[in-house]
Copies of this chain bind each other. A is one copy, B any other.
Amino acid sequence: MADTTSHKRRGGGRAGAAARRGSAVIDQMPWDPPINIDRPTEPLDPAGIEAIHDGAMRILEEIGVEFFNEEAIGILREAGCTIEGDNVRMGRDFVMEMVAKAPSQFSITPRNPDRKIEIGGKNMVFGNVSSPPNYWDMEIGTKVPGNREMCRNLLKLTQYFNCIHFAGGYPVEPVDIHASVRHLDVLYDKLTLTDKAMHAYSLGKERVEDVMEMVRIAGGLSHEEFEATPRMYTNINSTSPLKHDHPMIDGCLRLARRGQAIVVTPFTLAGAMAPVTMAGAVAQSLAEALCAIALFQYVRPGIPCVIGTFTSNVDMKSGAPAFGTPEYMRSTQMTGQMARFYGLPMRSSGVCAANVPDGQSVWETSNSLWAAVQSGTNMVYHAAGWLEGGLIASPEKFIMDCEILQQIQRYMNPELTATGPDEIALDAIRSVGNDGHFFGIQHTQDRYTTAFYQPFLSDWKNYEGWDVAGGIWTAERAHHMFKEIVSSFEPPALDDGIRDELADFVARRKAEGGAPTDF
């Protein structure tokens, strides 16, 4: 293990043992979500923060956001907002008063309490790719629609890797399952193949209620226990510019009333659904998020809410979305400053426009993951497995991204920058003097097993050694690893009674017809 002398042991015990109980295809770091010890990169000065804040507030005060949800309109009217049809305008005093009720940090406790995650403060957690309709792997060799088997395999990766801390949405849409019952089958797979925190799509009453019930069952919880603290979350996108659709608001209200967490992530592509200027796109994104969060705080003061960002730019030649660009990095950093200004935890993503797990996919995804670090992001969505602007999920990309995520985890270990006498190591330097080397000395022997990051996918052999071993490029190495992990996967422990109860619930709800598909 590269990090066994980790600086913190939170949750290490049972989860660590579970990780060791699982297959040992690779020698990975233990479960230990990073604490972001870096000062964020902050491109905005106080006047810049004020300008973006004022822009967001004026959008809400002067232009308004459309809520296609009658219940929300009624609540916001009661709260004193100005309503014209679906258009809601709200004053900054109201927005700030409501947003101030949201906690700056909270936890989500999944069915395995050792996998509890902290959202907010300096905590960082990483989730799998969510919601691509398509799949690519090296064996298939082309883009194909997702199915349940692919989804299950990606869920196995989600569980297997200790650097993946939550199971977001479906890692690929299993379009071979009818939409009316898809949520039942996939949630069954998620809750049996993983024990990590997960989410419900806000796509209609039935889906949301079913998922909450299944998460409750899987945790062996009473309704009161379920509602006492967040056990799951939902993530919604606004429909930019300046609209919130019915099912998203409905789902959030349902979760809010049961004490579950909410992530609001506008998808403001600068130049398309938002101004071509990044500060404008950020201001609009904030306005769209804050008005929804204000609603949820009015309904349930103190409910955990996360402000998400998906502000990127389009390719002005084609209109296609671009990700992991310099503009994306800066908008993420700016949003981080604003999230701290509002006292809200923040979500961003690991993203790229590349179509295959090649060099481009790495620089784009790496840019976005390090922008998450620099921005002080708490919750990193799509942190592993995303290709083609989110239209493709790939297991090779998943595994490659996990190598970057582990490096971020290692990077945040304060031991790397410790400067005590043992680290300055004057006696060791004196003992080696002007000749010889440090390989054999006691100072090295005492530390060498844990001194440095040990990659699981990077190949540090010299060219000749690498060539003799097959001369395999990164993506192909990841592919072999994928096959091994999936074939030797052991699901996390789950009580048989709970498994049966979940299966019964799925069968009953299927018999009832699942969820309507005309939403």
Q: Which residues of A pack against B, CB within 8 Å?
A: 37-39, 41-44, 47-48, 51-52, 54-55, 58-59, 62-66, 87, 134, 136, 142-143, 241-243, 270-280, 283-284, 313-320, 322, 325-327, 329-330, 333-334, 353-364, 366-367, 370, 388-389, 391-392, 400, 403-404, 407-408, 410-411, 413, 416-420, 422-426, 428-430, 432-439, 443-444, 447-449, 451-454, 457-464, 466-467, 471, 473-475, 478
Contacts and interface: CB of A to CB of B under 8 A. Distances in A.
B425 A280 contact: yes
B355 A462 contact: yes
Contact of A359 (B48, B55, B277, B359): B359
A134 B462 CA distance: 12
9 contacts: A271-B452, A272-B437, A275-B444, A277-B425, A279-B423, A320-B461, A320-B462, A325-B453, A359-B359
Contacts of A417: 43-44, 48, 278-279, 330, 333-334
B326 A410 contact: yes
A277 to B, nearest CB: 4
A277 B423 contact: yes
Contacts of A55: 424-426
A460 B318 contact: yes
Given A353-B460, A359-B474, A448-B316, A418 B279 contact: yes
A271 B360 contact: no
Given A43-B37, A392-B463, A407 B271 contact: no
Nearest to A142: B467
Contacts of A478: 359
Contact of A280 (B143, B391, B428, B448): B428
A23 to B, nearest CB: 21
A424 B52 contact: yes
Given A241-B433, A242-B433, A444 B276 contact: yes
Contacts of A433: 63, 241-242
A43 B51 contact: no
Given A48-B419, A62-B430, 11 more contacts: A44-B417, A47-B419, A55-B425, A59-B426, A87-B434, A242-B429, A276-B443, A354-B459, A358-B359, A359-B478, A360-B474
Given A334-B417, A467-B142, A443 B275 contact: yes
A358 B353 CA distance: 17
A433 B86 CA distance: 13
A458 B354 contact: yes
A51 B424 contact: yes
B460 A65 contact: no
Given A403-B363, A407-B326, A439 B358 contact: no
Nearest to A268: B438
A66 B460 contact: no
Given A276-B438, A416-B278, A434-B241, A360 B424 contact: no
Contacts of A449: 316
A445 to B, nearest CB: 9
Contact of A360 (B284, B444, B457): B457
Contacts of A314: 452
